[in-house]
Structure 1
Amino acid sequence: MPSNGNAPPRFAYKADRLKPLRAFCQTVRLGSVSRAAEALYVSQPAVTLQLQALERELGEKLFERSGRRLAPTRAGEALYELARPLVDGIDTLPTAFRSQLKGMDAGELNIAANSSTILYLLPRIVERFRQHHADVRLSLHNTVSADGTDLLRADAVDLVVGSMHDVPADLVYEPLHRFEQRLVLPPGHPLADKADLTLADIGRYGLILPPKRQITWRLVDLVFQQNRVPYTVALEVGGWEVIKQYVAMGMGISILSSICLTEADRGRLVTRPLDAFFPARSYGVVMRKGKLPSPQARAFMDLIQPDLFVRRDYYDSGHSER
């Protein structure tokens, strides 16, 4: 039923093209208007009107009778090839959508963090995340900050959780928790009860520090250098539990973040605040600027601090601790 003249054809179903296309596809599949009407739970006249309107709009005859069965014409076959994936996609949208959401809730989450963050800050957060997102495969990569940001840039991890002193231009750092720096001593040490503690007092005793690549070592060196106070490193060793053990054994003293101190340290160590000399250390989330976090990453960040992603525009420049 082709249209007449050059004027655009009138199509009563333009506001809802899915209905005539669905009726057309069902008629092609079933070979009958009545069967298509039954499959669509509508009346046979309604399907006939939809097919007629579709033919008027397209200016082509879409069906011809082949015995008792309706068969698509050449134009009908061409339209069926175009319309079938569209109709099937719309009809299966709710199921596909639920499947997609389920996949988003599952998947995997890779987080880079240094040993102190994994040991002292993350356990409760990881526990809660596992309770709420048991289908997500969570991997914690134990790295120093520099290696963690390299993994982040390479898309090998979704987040870096830890402390950052200077923030590169391509990253965003959102500090979430702050911890003061403390001097850690064995019981009975001469500085344990000394009044008016100074950097010079600390510098006279050998320090036990983590490796130079870590932020703590660089921070300690920066403070002593800025104040022109000499100091010595008695031992360089990785792992705060090891450092605390060596301090407790009297091998030296150390400077560490209060995040690393637990109830178990009360009896074997003496600590003193160093607020007058050292700034508080922050721990937070590092992300690539301009990259939206995955649903799994957002769920993890919400456990650290609710609405963190909503609050922050990750296209802005990052924070710096300096």
Structure 2
Amino acid sequence: MAESGPSALRFAYKGSRLKPLRAFCQVARLGSVSRAAEALYLSQPAVTLQLQALERELGVRLLERSGRRLTPTREGELLYEMARPLVEGLDGLAASFREQVRGLDAGELNVAAGSSTILYLLPGIVDAFRQRHADVRLSLHNVTGASGLDLLRNDAVDLAVGSMLDVPADLSYAPVYRFEPMLIMPPDHPLADKRELKLEDLSPYGLILPPKRLTTYRLVDLVFQQNRVPYTVALEVGGWEVIKQYVAMGLGISIVTAICLTEADRQRLAARSLARWFPSRSYGIVMRKGKFLSAQARAFVELIKPEVLAAREYDQSGHSER
């Protein structure tokens, strides 16, 4: 049964509050009850009644006459600022909904990647994808380490792009790009022009490295330990751009992956390859084994490396992964 009593009447009244708010916004915008009535396809008395009802409910005067024009009072200006986005949002709901439905028809693509991958590797790929598939809603999820793998396992993302050293059994990793390890320093640093660079030459200089929890720090430590070369860490800081900036300021030297070195860095940094001691870093595509790839995901992978799809189809046809 329908609820009766004062509370039900208040609920019914509030349910139709949009009409007086729409009438008020039109009058505030157009400065005239008659013009607002025309815009709303209502009679002038109907608009006037709605304005009066709204003023009674709020207990303030919302409009005042200024010459031949109705203008909002101080309270009316405040209400107009609050109500206009609501009224316009509801009035445009149907069109917005249809637009979103078209987006659903085109599909969406969720890709997980680390900061360096998003910053240095993906811009060209994303640009090419957007030009070919403008209707697909593409979301890049900025993740680190295990959090990206969790998104993959929970199907919160379609695929991941990044670097992996140890690949879990439930995931597949297809390396696509390889980047050398590089020593970076200011251009006038003693090591910049040293003819034959040795690992021991780095010992006197403090290193600027990412935090210990990250793979780069652990790899640097492992190589120095294996070669029994002492080293010092001058500063721990996250992000290749920050590290490059601090190196350029002369606060230390660093060991980075060549992926982060751009043309602009040539003016402020000297770089020397450390491939003799440190392994190259691969970047590629990570997917959950057995996951069906949507058409938009396949298109994205195709832009990175077509061979990945061919290898995946070979594996899913019943052969074991290599």
TM over 0.5: yes
The one-letter code matched in structure 1 to 2:139 is S
Compared CA separation, residues 107 and 178, structure 1 to 2 (3 A): same
TM-score, normalisation: structure 1: 0.64
Structure 2 alignment gaps of length 5 or more: 1-101
Distance (whole Å) between structure 2 residues aligned to residue 141 and residue 293 of structure 1 = 18
For each residue in 1:96-129, what CA deviation from the matched residue of structure 2 results, as whole angstroms up to 9, or x when unmatched? xxxxxx9887221111111111011000100011
Do residues 229 (structure 1) and 229 (structure 2) align? yes
**Shift of residue 170 of structure 1?**
1.1
Aligned residue number for residue 311 of structure 2: 311
Compared CA separation, residues 305 and 200, structure 1 to 2 (3 A): same
Q: SS where residue 184 of structure 1 aligns?
A: strand
**Shift of residue 213 of structure 1?**
2.9
Distance (whole Å) between structure 2 residues aligned to residue 249 and residue 113 of structure 1 = 29
For each residue in 1:246-300, what CA deviation from the matched residue of structure 2 results, as whole angstroms up to 9, or x when unmatched? 0000011111111111110011000001111011111000111122222221110
Distance (whole Å) between structure 1 residues aligned to residue 311 and residue 237 of structure 2 = 39
The one-letter code matched in structure 2 to 1:132 is R
**Shift of residue 218 of structure 1?**
2.0
Higher helix share: 2
Compared CA separation, residues 132 and 305, structure 1 to 2 (3 A): same
Compute the RMSD of aligned alpha carbons. 2.0
The size of the alignment, in residue pairs, is: 218
TM-score, normalisation: structure 2: 0.64
For each residue in 1:40-72, what CA deviation from the matched residue of structure 2 results, as whole angstroms up to 9, or x when unmatched? xxxxxxxxxxxxxxxxxxxxxxxxxxxxxxxxx
Map 1:238-249; keep pairs closer than 5 Å: 238-249=238-249
Asked if structure 1 preserves the Cα contact closer than 8 Å seen for 2:103 and 2:135, the reply is no
Asked if structure 2 preserves the Cα contact closer than 8 Å seen for 1:292 and 1:314, the reply is no
Aligned residue number for residue 208 of structure 1: 208
The one-letter code matched in structure 1 to 2:274 is L
Greater mean alpha carbon deviation, residues 169-178 or residues 204-213: 204-213
When Rg is computed on C-alpha atoms for both structures, the one with the higher figure is: 1
Aligned residue number for residue 177 of structure 1: 177
Asked if structure 2 preserves the Cα contact closer than 8 Å seen for 1:184 and 1:269, the reply is yes
Distance (whole Å) between structure 2 residues aligned to residue 261 and residue 153 of structure 1 = 32
Aligned residue number for residue 113 of structure 2: 113
**Shift of residue 168 of structure 1?**
1.0
Aligned residue number for residue 154 of structure 1: 154
Compared CA separation, residues 280 and 310, structure 1 to 2 (3 A): same
Distance (whole Å) between structure 2 residues aligned to residue 116 and residue 317 of structure 1 = 32
Q: Sequence identity of aligned pairs in percent?
A: 70
Distance (whole Å) between structure 1 residues aligned to residue 188 and residue 298 of structure 2 = 47
Do residues 194 (structure 1) and 194 (structure 2) align? yes
Distance (whole Å) between structure 1 residues aligned to residue 173 and residue 206 of structure 2 = 33
Asked if structure 2 preserves the Cα contact closer than 8 Å seen for 1:164 and 1:283, the reply is yes
Distance (whole Å) between structure 1 residues aligned to residue 309 and residue 293 of structure 2 = 9
Compared CA separation, residues 213 and 106, structure 1 to 2 (3 A): farther
Aligned residue number for residue 27 of structure 1: none
Asked if structure 2 preserves the Cα contact closer than 8 Å seen for 1:106 and 1:135, the reply is yes
**Shift of residue 166 of structure 1?**
1.0
Q: SS where residue 255 of structure 1 aligns?
A: strand
